[in-house]
């Protein structure tokens, strides 16, 4: 067992995992990646709201001036109201969660303006809320987005033209130095808030792109890599053959084409649904025999491909024979009882790069030979001399 598993989990890692769960509340299982990103940005906005309320409360209370401290109690309800957004997203009330976020943020800012006016430029937050609308609302909710944009701009204009006047005791207790510090805190919080939302958006986009790429390279029936993923892995391996291995490992590689014997008969006798079950079971059996770093993919109906790296010719042949034995010895269960299943394998071993189409052709010829020699066996191909240092097994 790795030593890392014996050590207690790091508090940093625990907090990171918890934070990741919170920011993705309500997004699990959604297929619309754009909606997922909007939910993430809404949750991040709620967490930032809680953080900024705490920061400003501490700043107001630390001033030691009663007139300034009253602003802290004006925004204190935000500590309980911003988490409402997270709860609504968790309950899949996504649209309501977005309205809740902007409503709480706008209400708290109005409360602050009635206490401190525009002395520390906090009304500039209304411009941040204008930008927040397009970040959290989906395009199909453009009317909601437009309504919030108009409201926030109207409030900003009203504040800029002196509609909100500070309370006399707040203005009296606000020294020039304290005003400067609070104004700097407002500016820093706005910039950092935008930065966090942008980072969250980029992180969501990167995650969605990774997910989409993984789905595009995965066979939906068996969960194994598909032909596209296999060809990319083959190209990468062939490129490595042109470079010396720094670890001094074997440079030989092997390509196998594997085909389930009499699979059409299985479909005809048991039905295509049971054929699909056998396909998934075969993949699971094969994956148990494949080393980490090797690539097993489904490239056709009942045809699979396996790419082995850093192997000798004998190791490649032994691996192919183990695959045949493991499938032959596995009890495949169907509606009509146990069903014997076997595979045939065409193998080509090479130590210098060949064109992918040539490798496929050689492996396919070997698979044809295995099929016509009785099935449930391995046949090996020889690469053309002068093009690759292939070994006859």
pLDDT tens digits for range 90-119: 999 999 999 999 999 999 999 999 999 999
pTM of the full structure: 0.66
Quote the mean pLDDT of the chain. Answer: 88
**Of residues 314, 294, 312, the one with CA closest to residue 237:** 294
pLDDT of residue 389: 38
Residue burial 345-373, b: 16+ Cβ < 10 Å; e: rest: bbbbbbbbbbeeebbbebbbbbbbbbbee
pLDDT of residue 388: 35
pLDDT one-digit tens code per residue, 260-290: 999 999 999 999 999 999 999 999 999 999 9
pLDDT band (50, 70, 90) for residue 385: very low
pLDDT one-digit tens code per residue, 169-188: 999 999 999 999 999 999 99
How far is the C-alpha of 275 from the C-alpha of 329, rounded, in Å? 18
How far is the C-alpha of 74 from the C-alpha of 60, rounded, in Å? 11
pLDDT one-digit tens code per residue, 24-45: 888 877 778 888 889 999 999 9
CB 138 within 8 A of CB 87: no
Q: Has residue 23 got a pLDDT over 90?
A: no
Beta bridge partner(s), residue 218: 225
How far is the C-alpha of 55 from the C-alpha of 61, rounded, in Å? 10
- The DSSP letter of residue 8 is P
CB 97 within 8 A of CB 113: no
pLDDT of residue 250: 54
Q: How many helices (H) does the chain have, and how many strands (E)? A: 15, 7
pLDDT one-digit tens code per residue, 326-381: 999 999 998 888 999 999 999 999 888 788 999 999 999 999 999 999 999 999 98
Rounded to 5 degrees, φ, ψ at 225 are -60, 150
How far is the C-alpha of 383 from the C-alpha of 349, rounded, in Å? 8
pLDDT of residue 3: 42
How far is the C-alpha of 315 from the C-alpha of 285, rounded, in Å? 19
| Helix ranges restricted to H, 217-308 | 227-241, 263-270, 272-289
pLDDT of residue 35: 87
- Rg (alpha carbons) of the chain, rounded to whole number: 32
Task: Please list, in sequence order, all residues whose beta carbon lies within 8 angstroms of the beta carbon of residue 2, skipping any fewer than 6 positions away.
Answer: none
How far is the C-alpha of 85 from the C-alpha of 93, rounded, in Å? 9
% of the chain beyond a pLDDT of 90: 69
Element (H, E) at 370: helix 356-371
How far is the C-alpha of 244 from the C-alpha of 48, rounded, in Å? 51
Q: Has residue 322 got a pLDDT over 70?
A: yes
Mean pLDDT check: name the lowest of 11-25, 144-158, 168-182, 245-259. Answer: 245-259
CB 70 within 8 A of CB 115: yes
List C-alpha distances in Å: 86 to 89, 150, 160, 189, 204: 5, 25, 32, 21, 17
Element (H, E) at 254: strand 253-260
pLDDT of residue 310: 87
pLDDT of residue 246: 60
pLDDT one-digit tens code per residue, 206-234: 877 777 788 788 998 999 999 999 999 99
Residue-range domains of the chain with CATH: 3-214 (no CATH), 227-381 (3.30.70.270)
CB 147 within 8 A of CB 47: no
Return the structure tokens found at 138: 């989906």
CB 174 within 8 A of CB 68: yes
pLDDT of residue 242: 72
Decide if 351 is catalytic: no
From 138, 152, 302, 387, active-site residue: 302
| Residue-level length of the chain | 393
pLDDT band (50, 70, 90) for residue 10: low
pLDDT of residue 68: 92
């Amino acid at each position: 067992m790795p030593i890392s598993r014996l050590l207690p989990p790091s508090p940093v890692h625990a907090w990171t995992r918890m934070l990741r769960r919170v920011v993705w509340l309500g997004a699990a299982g959604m297929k619309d990646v754009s909606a997922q990103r909007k939910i993430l940005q809404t949750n991040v906005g709620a967490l930032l709201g809680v953080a900024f309320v705490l920061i400003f409360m501490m700043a107001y209370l630390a001033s030691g001036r009663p007139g300034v401290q009253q602003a802290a109690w004006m925004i204190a309800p935000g500590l309980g109201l911003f988490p409402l957004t997270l709860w609504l997203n968790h309950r899949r009330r996504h649209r309501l969660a977005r309205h809740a976020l902007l409503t709480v943020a706008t209400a708290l800012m109005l409360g602050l303006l009635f206490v401190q006016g525009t002395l520390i430029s906090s009304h500039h937050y209304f411009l941040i809320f204008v930008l927040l609308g397009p970040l959290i609302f989906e395009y199909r909710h453009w009317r909601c987005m437009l309504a919030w944009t108009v409201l926030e701009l109207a409030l900003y204009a009203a504040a800029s033209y002196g509609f909100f006047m500070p309370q006399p005791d707040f203005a009296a207790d606000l020294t020039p130095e304290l005003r400067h510090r609070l104004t700097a805190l407002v500016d820093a919080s706005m910039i950092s808030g935008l930065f966090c939302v942008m980072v969250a958006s980029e992180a969501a986009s990167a995650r969605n792109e990774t997910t989409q790429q993984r789905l595009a390279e995965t066979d939906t029936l068996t969960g194994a890599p598909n032909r596209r993923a296999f060809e990319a892995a083959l190209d990468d391996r062939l490129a490595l053959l042109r470079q010396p291995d720094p670890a001094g490992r074997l440079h030989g590689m092997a390509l196998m084409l594997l085909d389930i014997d009499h699979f059409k008969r299985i479909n005809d006798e048991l039905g295509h649904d049971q054929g699909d079950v056998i396909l998934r079971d075969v993949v699971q059996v094969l994956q148990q025999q494949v080393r980490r770093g090797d690539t097993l993919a489904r490239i056709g109906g009942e045809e699979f491909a396996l790419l082995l790296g850093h192997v000798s010719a004998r190791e490649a042949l032994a691996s192919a024979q183990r695959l045949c034995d493991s499938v032959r010895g596995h009890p495949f269960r169907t509606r009509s009882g146990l069903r014997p299943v076997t595979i045939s394998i065409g193998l080509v071993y090479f130590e210098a790069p060949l064109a992918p189409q040539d490798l496929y052709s050689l492996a396919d010829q070997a698979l044809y030979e295995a099929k016509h020699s009785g099935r449930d066996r391995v046949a090996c191909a020889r690469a053309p001399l002068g093009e690759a240092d292939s070994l006859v097994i």
